[in-house]
Amino acid sequence: VLEQIEKVETDQDAFTRLDSEFHLQLARCSRNPLIYRLYQQINTIRAHAQWEQMKQIILSSEKMAIYNQQHRAIVDALRQRDVQAAVDLITRHLETARQDLLGADSI
């Protein structure tokens, strides 16, 4: 999924679909059913019209590149079994997305 999403440069729909799958796969790898179910619910919300509007505002090619850099760093930390780095990177990634969503909501 990571390799596929890294190839997306401008297609907001493809990026959103692959981003949803990327996060769901991370949740699946945690082997924590609660986290996995939570991400399933998040992906359900991402199908709503309001999310579509925000996607149009947020997902520039530059923003997709930033998200992909963050995705790659998270996977690299996990592969190195660097738990603290992975936690820090995921936290930073989610905070970036939160700030982007809040900024889009005020437009």
Q: Would you state the pLDDT for residue 91?
A: 96
Is a pLDDT exceeding 70 seen at residue 17?
Answer: yes
Residue 77 CA: distances (Å) to CA of 7, 27, 89: 21, 15, 8
**Section 10-26 average pLDDT:** 95
Q: Give residue 107's pLDDT band: very low, low, confident or very high (50, 70, 90).
A: low
Q: Is 62 left (phi over 0), alpha (psi -120 to 50) or beta?
A: alpha
Let me know if 27 is exposed, middle or buried by CB neighbors in 10 A (0-12, 13-18, 19+): buried
Residue 67's contacts (CB-CB under 8 Å, 6 or more residues apart) are 15, 19, 93, 96, 97
Nearest one of 71, 61, 77, 81 to 21, comparing CA atoms:
71
Q: What is the pTM of this model?
A: 0.88
Nearest one of 98, 74, 94 to 84, comparing CA atoms:
74
Least confident of 14-18, 40-44, 76-80, 103-107: 103-107
pLDDT tens for each residue of 32-69: 999 999 999 999 988 888 888 888 889 999 999 999 99
